[in-house]
Structure formats: structure tokens, C-alpha cells
Structure 1
Amino acid sequence: MNPIVLWFHKLGSPPYFDRFAARWAPWGHGIGLLMMAVGLYGGLFQVPADYQQGDSFRILYIHVPSAWMSLAVYGAMAFYAAIALIWRIKLCEILAMACAPIGAAFTFITLATGSIWGKPMWGTWWDWDPRLTTELVLLFMYLGVIGLYHAIDDRRAAARAAGLLAIVGVVLLPVIRYSVVWWNSLHQGQTIRMFGESSMDSSMVWPLIWVVLGSKFWFLGSLLARARADNLLRESGKAWVGTLVAPATEARR
């Protein structure tokens, strides 16, 4: 068997996944936080002020990575949910449901920073702009997935029901992505591109790249940590979980 395929098969084993997540989740968090710190320091203290927006533009170093991650995490959640529904892979159910709270947090940060940025630019904290409105609907979709997952006692049935809702919500992603193109709105068009030429000055782009990459590593660390916790909860009655708990129990005595 191909070594990569064999590794994926092994990863589906709850004990193997627990060891994998325990090892790599701290690395994801550590690398992510370090990269985001470098990017935020550069964005807040090193790049020049914008010639039109002044220093208020600096909030984009939080707003833009969060907005991109709000869409990317939802896509990942729906992808895992589809695999889980088609092939009944329990690990993918766990990963899909672990994505939801993380994506909801990114979406909330996007909306909060967008409102803060909009006040000096538009003169209001909120406007029913197509981009803002669809992003708010995305937050409700995340909350719906989380609520449905916790409303059903059977974990596997809950994951399948919530996963189906996540898949249905995928249609919202292109609407959010192209809302500034399809409709006239207050929200500015795309000025930053990770690939290709940006209309934003290059001296202002490098901190954004650090924060964007750092947010992805942080997401991976958080995904593994949350999935590991859910995996342990589902497997709590198994002997291999008892071998993990026993040393901690003995240490407290």
C-alpha cells in the first residue's frame, strides 16, 4: 500500500489520531501565534499610514485574515462533512464539528473589526451592505451547525445532521466572495491579492502575509486540539483512554 494512503488509514484510528493531535497541536498554536505576532507588529508599528485612511487602515491586518479564514474554515467544515456522509468516516465527523466554533470565532472577529473600521470610513457602525449582511448570515450558519450538533444526544447522528446543514450552506461562500462585484455597496472592492498584483502598496503587504499564514497554522493547532477533545469524549469508555487518564489520576492522589 502507498505510504501516504497507509498513513491516512492509520490516522483514522482514534488512539493514533490522539497521539498525532497531542504532538502537533502545540506546534500549530506556537508557530501560528509567532507568525501573527510578527505580522501584527509590522502592520501596527512599521508600515506607513495610508494616504487616505491614515492609521485607521491598520485594522485590516486583523479584519482581512479573519474574513478569509471565515470562508476557508467553512469550506473545510463542509468538505469534512461531505466525506463523513459519503464514506462514514468518524474522524471526518469530528474534524467537521471541530471546525464550527473556530470558524464562528473568525466570522465574529470579521464582523466586529468591520464595524469598527466602518465607523470612521462610512460614518456608521453597521450598514446592511451585501458583504456585511452575507457575512452575518455565515455566522448564523456556523451557530446553526453548532446548535444542531449539541441538540442531539447521539454524537454520530448529530454530526451527520449538522454536517448536512454545513454542506447546504456552502452556496453562501461564492455569494460572500463576489458580493462586492455583483452589487453596488459601501464595501470597497478587492485590493489585496495573495497571488497576483495588489493595488495596495507592497510595503504594506508583507505583514498581512505573515498574519494570514499565522492564522492558518493557529487554525490547524486549534482544529487538532478541539478534535482530540471530542475524540477522547467519544472514546471515553475504551481501554486506551483509561491508560491516558490513569497516570493523571495517580498523580493527583
Structure 2
Amino acid sequence: MPETLPGQPVKGAFLHRFANPGRFLRLAHWLFPLLSASSGIFLTIGMIWALWFSPADWQQGDAVRIMYLHVPMAMLASGGYAALALCGVLSLVWKHPLADLAAVEIGPVGAVITGLCLVTGSLWGKPMWGAWWVWDARLTSVLVLFFLYLGHIALIQAFDDPQRGYRAAAVLAIAGVIDLPIIKFSVNWWNTLHQPDSITLTHAPTMPESMLLPLSICLTGFSLGFAALVTGRLQAAILETRAEQMLTRRARSQNGLS
């Protein structure tokens, strides 16, 4: 019989193409080092360019260089949570066997990234606003996102039955999506200290290419690194599940023989 995790995949469905853990592990075997190496290359180029060759801002001076870490962390915090909600939909609606495991591994990575977003934003805000923290609409909504990540992690661990924890966490992840448009559009909906977005889908970027290019490279590098971390963690989780199942079968076999 084909190897599966708990849950019954729909045979032939596209969403379950990589539901088989063995098939996913074969994919991840070459994908993880590729993502890791690509992330390292992009981050090396991007950070050297950002820290040594990109210009200082005429108002903010060298403090603007925090942007090359803060902006990717902010975008990945929201993107990671969107991926978490997608896993919730795949789990609750399509019963995808790997969706719950993926959500378990995305949560901690997303929480760390959101924490870094808040810390770097605070470091950037101190010289600009004169305070480490203000209850700005965007800052507050990102803080809510951080608590949503923590709540997701806590819910998974809150039940003796893992499936109940997965379901509760999936519901929270889907419900928490409402925070993402608030984060995105808060600077347009309210009068806040946070500057408007410099990069949008509907308008040309408001920053010069000398800043935009290294920022884009850094964003690409951090995104590849995020994907590498989740892929590696999911690999480890599947292997751990395999080992636990093997030990359980061995224990049952020994008990049957005794």
C-alpha cells in the first residue's frame, strides 16, 4: 500500500500529488539544498549592496538601512500567515495529509519573522519617531499578527488528540486572515505615523532604483530562506512521524509475540 499520513487523500486529485510522504521527501531532497544555496547567494549580494553601496536617505541617513531587513520581514510575516491559512483550508476542506504538518512547521518560523519585524521596526522608529513603540495602526495590527501565530502554536499543543489541535489551529488561522488587509491598508485607512507603502501593485515605486534593487534582492533571499526553513522542518517532521510509527508497530509486534 502507498505510504500516507493520517487522513484519506482523494486519489488522482492535483492537491494530493505530493501527499505521499515518500514522494515529498524525494522532492525535498534536492529542493532544500537548492533553496538554501539560492537564499545564501541572494542574501550575500543583497546585504553587501544594501549596507555598503546603496545610498543613505536624505532625511533618515544611514538608519534607512534597517529597511533591508525590516521590509522583507514585514512582507514574509503576512505571506507566512497567508500560507498558514491556506494549510488550514487544505486541511479542513480537502483533508490534505501534509497540510497539518506544514502548518505546524510554518507557525514557529512565521512567529520568529513577525517578532523580527516588530524589533527592527522598533529600532527604526526610535530615531525617526523618538519612541521605541507607538500604538500606530500598522504596528498594532502586526502585533496582533504575532499573537495569532503564538495562538496557533499554542492551540496545536493544547489537546491530547493531535487532530483536535490541528482543527482548532486551522480555524484560528483562517479566521485570523482578517488581520492581513488591516495590516496592508492601515496606512491608507487611518492617519498613522507609519509611512505609506513605497511599493504597490497599482503605482510605480516611490523609492529610487539604487534602493529598490538591493531591497528586491534581499526580499528574494529571505523568501527563499523562509521556503528552505519550512521545507527542512517539514522533512524532519515527516521523518520523525515515520520513526514514531515504526516504533509503535515494533512495540505492538513484540506485545503480540509475548
Q: Normalising TM by the smaller chain, what interval?
A: 0.7 to 0.9
Task: State the shift of 1:230 in Å.
Answer: 1.9
Give the counterpart of 2:107 among 100, 108, 118: 100
Measure the CA separation in 2 of the matches of 1:143 and 1:119.
26
Q: Which has the higher helix share?
A: 1
From 217, 226, 244, the equivalent of 2:224 is: 217
Match in the other structure for 2:40: 33
Instruction: Provide, for residues 182-234 of structure 1, a one-character-per-residue CA deviation record: whole Å limited to 9, x for no partner.
Output: 11111111123477511111111110110111111111111111112222233
- Give the deviation of 1:21 after TM superposition: 2.0
1:184-203 equivalent positions in 2, closer than 5 A:
184-193=191-200, 196-203=203-210
- The answer (yes or no) to whether the contact 1:36–1:211 under 8 Å persists in 2 is yes
Aligned to 2:198, the other structure's residue is in SS state coil
Runs of 5+ unmatched residues, structure 2: 1-11, 250-258
Deviates more, 1:125-134 or 1:91-100: 91-100
Query: Matched residues in 1 for 2:14 and 2:174: separation?
Result: 27
Q: Which of 162, 182, 191 in structure 1 is aligned with 2:169?
A: 162
Q: Distance in 2 between matches of 1:159 and 1:39?
A: 37
Report the alpha carbon displacement of residue 161 of structure 1 after superposing the two structures with TM.
1.4
Aligned residues between the structures:
238
Q: Aligned partners of 1:17, 1:155: CA distance in 2, in Å?
A: 22
| Higher normalized contact order (CA 8 Å, seq sep 6+, divided by chain length) | 1
Structure 1: runs of 5 or more not aligned: 243-253
State whether residues 194 and 209 of structure 1, in contact with CA within 8 Å, keep that contact through their aligned partners in structure 2. no
Q: Write out aligned runs for 1:102-141 (5 A).
A: 102-141=109-148
Q: Aligned partners of 2:52, 2:199: CA distance in 1, in Å?
A: 20
Contact in 2 for aligned 1:22/1:225 (Cα 8 Å): no
Q: Post-superposition shift, 1:238?
A: 4.2
Percent identity, please.
Answer: 39
Equivalent residue in structure 2 for 1:14, among 14, 17, 21:
21
CA RMSD of aligned residues (A): 2.1
Q: TM-score, normalised by structure 2?
A: 0.86
Residues 80-127 of structure 1: per-residue CA shift (max 9 Å, x gap): 110111111111111122111111111111100000000000001000
* TM-score normalised over the length of structure 1: 0.88
Corresponding residue for residue 233 of structure 1: 240
Query: Separation in 1 of the partners of 2:36 and 2:192?
Result: 36
